[in-house]
Amino acid sequence: MIYLTRRERFNAAHKLYREGWTLEQNEAVFGKCSNPNWHGHNYELFVTVKGEVNPETGFVIDLKELKSIITTYVIDKLDHRNVNLDVDFMQGKMASTEVLAIEIFHQLKAHIEAHGAILHSVRLVETENNSVEYFGD
């Protein structure tokens, strides 16, 4: 078993808020992240796959294919977008980094498996000091 990680980057805006809460409740729970005018991050995404090395290619997955999968199903949907408003797989969900990482994992899993690898984890870095990592259900 070998592990391979690909890093990608994207920029996106979001806000954390609950529709049924008052402005004061949202601010008390989410602080500046509930800014009605949104805020943004320069995210780093680390996608780790695992599997056996193919003896014919020497790869667990072709990196060109992995990059293409990540770009098509995640980066193109998130980069320079509003996570709350523009991203199909985030509709109706809290736009926290935790939820975003889970949903990115779900976007990638089947496509990576179709290429013979297993999606091990998604690590999403929101700021220099904050990141989350999701290993699946």
Q: Which of the following is catalytic: 14, 103, 120, 126?
A: 126
User: Cα–Cα distance between 4 and 2 in angstroms, integer?
Assistant: 7
Catalytic residue (choose from 39, 52, 80, 113): 80
Q: Which of 27, 33, 44, 133 is catalytic?
A: 33
The one-letter amino acid code at 56 reads: E
- The number of residues making up the chain comes to 137
Active site residue 65: no
Residue 19: active-site member: no
Extract the tokens encoding 127: 């700021």
The number of angstroms, rounded, from the C-alpha of 46 to the middle of its chain's C-alpha atoms is 9
Nearest 5°: CA angle at 37, between 86 and 7? 50
Q: Is 113 a catalytic residue?
A: no
Report the SS3 class of residue 51: strand
Phi, psi of 98 (to 5 degrees): -60, -50
Which positions are annotated as active-site residues? 33, 80, 126
